[in-house]
Structure 1
């Protein structure tokens, strides 16, 4: 949790509350979470669906929050937005009504954009968090929403969230407002508990940096102990740092892969493939394998291979790598494999 504090400090979060949630007991949890967010430097703005924010404001007073009521709804225009900005400037939480129905009315989205909000958080009633083919959608790029195929629930909300991103808000969160602790669980974990639609690099694969090496070593330590990965030390990785890549979620490392080139043999090795245990089963391993394949192709390689004695089914059955004899390896790689005494199989793909 502490790692997120500097990242969130001084950021504006617009939090929209559906009207039926105002009188629910679960809303108190969300308000207390907002109070904590304000304590660590977040600048929340509370918006409630409909024409009157007084009931929500009274709840914030009961929770002893530093809040102030905006008497007119947002549909009042520029003067109301200026009042919101004034309250924010004196380190209070503005509580304002949208004056409209729905979670993504134009006035609420426009106000969030005009304030420079980094997040627009929709607290929804009746468990309206989207899913795809029965599985929650944890995060999705705004540009990918329209391309979703399959059984998508609450499609209209997803489309509205994507539209809010296109209006200039980097991240939009769709959350179950009746889930206790939903704000903390969503904002202070890498995967969250709702759906985030985003325009920025929430998930990316980037080159390993030297300051990442201790974290990478710590991350792969269990697999090294279990003999699933080759033992590596700081110096080993630093010497070949240009070959290593990490997959990050919100700048936190959750996986890694290495691409070792053998240019004289037009081959590349996919190595050090690892995903943190709590992030398994989400397609990140496949994403890293596909990334490694593209890297090998960019290098002009004709063959990519992986050596494994514990991930045979993964490479053969899921990634559709063919099994090859050891004679297919570059001679220098074959020598080091034989010296290691490992019983690894060879799995590879011919590249175009």
Structure 2
């Protein structure tokens, strides 16, 4: 490893640092993760996120700790449908295990030893009755007793703590207006609180690197729809299925992205949040919006989107016939059946170069990150085609591209075919970005 590799990585993480500052991120930690040797590194990474201004909620599980507590008392625990049945006699032991684990987490997040990553962190941790619950009830003839599910999240209370810079710690317990305490699934708590807060991200920790294919290879990205299809087909089973379902539920309810990462891999959390490729599996919302390859039936929507920009001289005019022949080069952002963004990628293989062209976003969505999402997809397509340099010609949006890593270049740097067709009357400026 070169001595200045850390410097390169640190500098290139700054866009992600700025993007996450002030955003709400919900972390779900299973009890197994808390007992793993890498947990101390996860704590250090949580402290780093807090110092960078990320608003953090941590929902933790306690299944192995509860099991040990029950085993020590000589109590046989039963499970059904992935949930522990909690009769009244077991509830004190469940509360004891969860309470002890909460105190342990608070103590660990309070560390500030000299020569440790948490020195001078001064993290404030808050917990409380922010989750209202109700009983699961009787399922298939089985009474689940004091096993419950989330009924309501006190979003106002949590938001106040986040505004004060506190990390909010949520145990797998909920309370009812009748004064009862319920044993909850931490996946349910994490997913529900992320949706209630409209969090930017839900981070789900598992023991694998992420969601895996049958051959053991890592799946880098899944839409919520694709993830649901894998669950329905039985391709994800056991506890991992419950975690993936929680990620899907959060995305469907408004959380933009969920990330499934390893609690065993050192630095997986930071790598997922602060690098381009991440470390695990990204699950993205597609309930009413998707970014995809364009189809012939999208041509009408693309023309409607780009026509005002063509009339203003921002984009070069394209006929319907031209779009029909070049539609395979286009990607579109579709929201509720309407095309709200588009872009095209033209490949110049002799120069390993690609042109970003016909880039347009509906004015109503320009401040919602659609342009960045489209650019990210174009860059991913370019890399898959072996393109090492992406260039764009623009007359009015140079600063937008410069803010995203494009550098001024000369007309003479254009690939031969593009240089031959360059329209000097438009006097478009050339910007390039190495990939």
TM superposition score category, shorter chain reference:
0.5 to 0.7
Q: Map of 1:1-352 to 2, 5 A cutoff?
A: 1-50=13-62, 51-52=98-99, 53-62=102-111, 63=118, 64-72=121-129, 74-75=131-132, 81-99=155-173, 100=183, 102-105=185-188, 107-124=189-206, 126-127=207-208, 129-134=210-215, 135-148=217-230, 152=236, 154-199=240-285, 228-229=350-351, 241-242=357-358, 250=373, 253=376, 255=378, 275-276=382-383
How many residue pairs were aligned? 245
Query: What SS does the corresponding residue of 1:44 show, helix, strand or coil?
Result: strand
CA distance in 1, matches of 2:385, 2:234: 22
Query: What SS does the corresponding residue of 2:110 show, helix, strand or coil?
Result: helix
Query: What SS does the corresponding residue of 1:127 show, helix, strand or coil?
Result: coil
Displacement of 1:88 after TM fit? 0.8
Query: Normalized against structure 2, the TM-score is what?
Result: 0.47
Contact 2:209 2:279 in 1 (8 A): no
Indicate how the Cα distance of structure 1 residues 280 and 49 shifts in structure 2: closer, same or farther if over 3 A, else same.
farther
CA distance in 2, matches of 1:111, 1:185: 24
Structure 2: tracts of 5 or more residues without a match: 1-12, 63-97, 112-117, 134-150, 174-182, 295-301, 315-344, 361-370, 388-416, 421-435
Superposed CA offset, 1:212-240 (max 9, x none) = xxxxxxxx9xx98xx733779xxxx69xx
Query: What SS does the corresponding residue of 1:22 show, helix, strand or coil?
Result: helix
CA distance in 1, matches of 2:353, 2:219: 36
Indicate how the Cα distance of structure 1 residues 73 and 22 shifts in structure 2: closer, same or farther if over 3 A, else same.
farther
Query: Normalized against structure 1, the TM-score is what?
Result: 0.57
Query: What SS does the corresponding residue of 2:249 show, helix, strand or coil?
Result: helix
Contact 1:121 1:173 in 2 (8 A): yes
CA distance in 2, matches of 1:45, 1:34: 10
Indicate how the Cα distance of structure 1 residues 250 and 103 shifts in structure 2: closer, same or farther if over 3 A, else same.
farther
